[in-house]
């Protein structure tokens, strides 16, 4: 499972002018890509890491606080294009992206896990053509891969 996270000052997700998700203050925008090899454990690993990731500044300006520490909100948006393969030719393929029948339950499980860890979590609409408005804070943007979280930790 892949997550592109952005620290935001504010953000929202719209579909045809309808606001689907809103984070009026500081928080995280999470673009989530579900691959064909993912399981619920991948979502658990990512949710736990993201909720504890210290990427918000403390009173001394050091990135030492998590989204929960700052009382921030989270927006989760499904993003199958994160799973793109671009090695051959100029048109990416999405063969590694899970089909909706596999991806939707894993996406929903990830969202439920985030809601258990962070008080304010809103979402886009799976498979919808959405517009995302955000003010990237920092900017701080990171890509997380659940496969990396399964590797042994070094020293």
Say whether 81 is catalytic.
yes
Is residue 79 part of the annotated active site? The answer reads yes
Question: Is 80 part of the annotated catalytic residue set?
Answer: yes
Catalytic residue, from 81, 126, 131, 143: name it.
81
Of 6, 35, 56, 79, which one is the catalytic site residue?
79
Catalytic member of 56, 80, 110, 123: 80
Mind giving me the DSSP string for 34-101?
Answer: -BTT--HHHHHHHHHHHHH---EE-TTS-EEE-TTTTT-EEEEEE-GGGG-B-SSSSS-B-TTBPPHH
- Cβ partners under 8 Å of residue 147, min gap 6: 42
Q: How far apart are CA 74 and CA 3, in angstroms?
A: 13
127: left (phi over 0), alpha (psi -120 to 50) or beta: left
β-pair type (63-65, 56-57): antiparallel
What is the spatial distance between Cα 83 and Cα 50, in angstroms, rounded to a whole number? 19
Annotated catalytic residues are 79-81
């Amino acid at each position: 499972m892949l997550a592109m996270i952005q620290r935001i000052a504010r953000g929202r997700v719209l579909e045809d002018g309808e606001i689907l998700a809103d984070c009026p203050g500081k928080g995280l925008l999470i673009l989530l890509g579900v691959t064909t090899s993912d399981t619920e454990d991948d979502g658990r690993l990512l949710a736990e890491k993201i909720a504890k990731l210290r990427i918000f500044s403390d009173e001394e300006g050091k990135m030492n606080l998590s989204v929960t520490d700052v009382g921030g909100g989270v927006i989760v948006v499904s993003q199958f294009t994160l799973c793109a393969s671009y090695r051959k030719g100029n048109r990416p393929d999405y063969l590694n992206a899970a089909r909706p029948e596999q991806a939707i339950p894993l996406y929903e499980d990830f969202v439920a896990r985030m809601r258990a860890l962070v008080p304010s979590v809103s979402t886009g609409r799976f498979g919808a053509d959405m517009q995302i408005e955000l003010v990237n804070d920092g900017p701080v943007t990171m890509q997380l891969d659940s496969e990396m979280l399964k590797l042994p930790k070094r020293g």
